[in-house]
Each structure stands twice: as C-alpha cells, then as structure tokens.
C-alpha cells in the first residue's frame, strides 16, 4: 500500500469511528480527520470513492471540494443512495474506480 493510501485509510478509519453514529452533517464533515483527508488533495479521490462504495459515509462535501464537480442532480439531493450512485458513476466515467 502506498504512503498516500495508507495515510488515507488511517484517517478514514478514525473518521468513521468518530462520526458514523452522528446525525449532524456539519459535525461529520467538520471532523479533523475529514479535513485532513481533504487537505491531501485530489490524489485521494479514488480512495474516497472506494470507501464510499464499501462503507458509505458522508463523503460528498470532500468529493465536491476536491473535484470541483457535483454530479448529483437536484432532485436526488438528500437521497443518500442516489447521491452515492451519482458519485460512483462519476468516478467510473473518469477512471477513478472500476
């Protein structure tokens, strides 16, 4: 496992541990581990998409910030499964994930 991926996994594991039980979107995405992941730059996009696919989580803010894009249609906002599928499709189309 390369250094960037290893660091991402460490931070993502801690983020999930600290936030998976929370309901407040701002508390979830203002978490220090989440912010550290964003600070790692665009290279973590494939890791975020893989984590989103495997464990779920509120990765949408990070993906919007890192990619400068938002593939979620207005009518799907708030529907976690549709948001997830929109981002995974986006990632496949751009070669970030298979």
Three-state secondary structure readout of the chain: CCHHHHHHHHHHHHHHHHHCCCCCHHHHHCCHHHHHHHHCCHHHHHHHHHHHHHHCCCCHHHHHHHHCCCCCCHHHCCCHHHHHHHHHHHHHHCCCCC
**Domain map (residue ranges) of the chain:** 3-93
pTM: 0.95
Distance from C-alpha of 94 to C-alpha of 48, rounded to nearest angstrom: 14
Contact 15, 21 (CB under 8 A): no
Contact 33, 22 (CB under 8 A): no
Distance from C-alpha of 29 to C-alpha of 47, rounded to nearest angstrom: 17
Direct distance between the N- and C-terminal alpha carbons of the chain, in angstroms, rounded to an integer? 18
Question: What pLDDT is recorded for position 61?
Answer: 97
pLDDT at 1 exceeding the cut of 80? no
51-67 pLDDT, tens per residue? 999 999 999 999 999 99
């Amino acid at each position: 496992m390369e250094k960037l991926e290893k660091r991402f996994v460490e931070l993502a594991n801690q983020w999930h541990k600290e936030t998976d039980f929370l309901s407040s979107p701002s508390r979830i995405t203002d978490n220090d581990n989440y912010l550290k992941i964003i600070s790692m730059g665009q290279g973590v996009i494939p890791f975020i998409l893989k984590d989103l696919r495997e464990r779920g989580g509120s990765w949408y803010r990070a993906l919007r910030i890192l990619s400068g894009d938002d593939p979620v249609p207005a009518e799907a906002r708030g529907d976690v499964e549709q948001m997830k599928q929109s981002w995974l499709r986006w990632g496949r189309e751009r070669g970030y994930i298979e």
